[in-house]
Amino acid sequence: MTDSTQTTTTTTHDPDAVAKVRELVKDERTCMFTTIGPDGAIVSRPMATQDVEFDGDLWFFASASSPKVSEVQADPRVNIGYAGSSSWVSVSGTAEVVRDVAKNKELWNPFAEAWFANGPEDPDVVLLKVSSDTAEYWDTPGGRVASVIALVKSKVTGDRPDVGENETVQL
């Protein structure tokens, strides 16, 4: 697999870069939530982000009896992957299980209600709080069409394609 990003990737702790990550994930409610299974296998599943005011923490509802909860308790290292129409974000961090009815109520919404019919006070409803360490993003202004054009141009010129911005942000 080839790397289709620019030749330079920077790592920063810049507040503007954190704001860029926030902008890229704010409309992408569904992500792939990746944990490490009991046998060491990497396990991903779709999850809905509950708090879209990204400040380095991400919140997810889960069933206390679900495998993902026991996986987080055994090994808190996680990765959250978002894919939009013109951007991709990979957030790495650690997760913890939070049992807090007040926080459940604060984050409760119709999507959570669809999955947890007994409401935010149900003892099986827990939150997974992800404290992010880094986020790497790829942003392609113009979306997939611009990427295809850049790849075709690269093939003709022999130059590496410029398909947008890639940065790793310390959170």
Ordered DSSP codes for 111-151: HHHHH-TT-TT-TTEEEEEEEEEEEEEEE-TTHHHHHHHHH
CATH number of the domain to which 29 belongs: 2.30.110.10
Residue 10 pLDDT: 58
Average of per-residue pLDDT across 20-25 = 91
Average of per-residue pLDDT across 151-161 = 61
Q: Flag whether 2 is in a domain.
A: no
Read off the tokens for 71: 């996986």
Half-sphere exposure of 54 (CA within 13 A, CB side): 26
Residue 4 pLDDT: 45
Q: Taking 90 as the threshold, does the pLDDT of residue 166 lie above it?
A: no
For the chain, the domain total comes to 1
Average of per-residue pLDDT across 131-136 = 95
Give the residue numbers spanning the domain of 90.
10-170
33 vs 15 pLDDT, higher one: 33
Q: Taking 70 as the threshold, does the pLDDT of residue 25 lie above it?
A: yes
- Reported as a pLDDT band with limits 50, 70 and 90, residue 162 is low
- The answer to whether 59 touches 100, Cβ cutoff 8 Å, is no
Q: Flag whether 166 is in a domain.
A: yes
46 vs 17 pLDDT, higher one: 46
**Alpha-carbon distance values, 16 to 13, 19, 28, 110 (Å):** 9, 5, 19, 32
Q: Flag whether 1 is in a domain.
A: no
Q: What is the pTM of this model?
A: 0.82
As a whole number of angstroms, the distance between CA 33 and CA 42 comes to 10
Q: Flag whether 5 is in a domain.
A: no
